[in-house]
Amino acid sequence: MTELKQWLAITTTTDDNLLVDLLGAAHAMCERFTGLVAYKSEVRERFAATGLEYALGAQPVLYFLDASAIDHGLGKRLLTDSEASFERTGTDSGKLTLSASIPEQQVEARYYAGLSDEWAMVEEGLRHGIIRYAAHQYRERDAGPADAPPAAVAALWRPYRRMRL
């Protein structure tokens, strides 16, 4: 948050909670735009339990935690190793595989993804774009949320962009 406050020339703590929220939104926009998680984060991804294989959406996958089955009443049970397994697919991707159909309606995968464990080690273009996007959102907060990053931020993130088919 220090970098964002410096960028905006803010010296008080009055807007700290808002700035933290804006940094979270900027991180999410970066992830949507590039297809990459810049900073190590726990990912919870839900799928309709209609198949046996599920491609994980966040990249790069660092390590897997667990998988759960969720019913309509939102009851949750941890799937055993004999019911579900994780596998790397390529250098950055992963998938969840069920050994058989389950009676619950949803499956939730939990795993960690991210390019770096430390904010200071996030590649400069990604980090600077996140700061600039959060600053843009702060300055334009009365205009409502943006569907796309400003051109200057998109230019910083474009070299990292991964397209999905």
Same domain, 47 and 73: yes
pTM above 0.95, yes or no: no
Domain that holds residue 75: 41-113
- Split into its structural domains, the chain has a count of 2
Percent pLDDT > 70 in the chain is: 98
Instruction: Answer whether residue 165 is part of any domain.
Output: no
Contacts of 87 (CB under 8 A, 6+ apart): 94, 95, 97
CB 106 within 8 A of CB 46: yes
For position 163, what pLDDT does the model report? 66
What is the tens place of the pLDDT at every residue in 109-149? 999 999 998 888 999 999 999 999 999 999 998 777 677 89
Instruction: Answer whether residue 139 is part of any domain.
Output: yes
- Sign of the CA dihedral 21, 25, 31, 34? negative
Distances from the Cα of 88 to the Cαs of 4, 15, 32, 56, 105, in angstroms?
A: 35, 41, 21, 10, 25
pLDDT, the chain, mean? 92
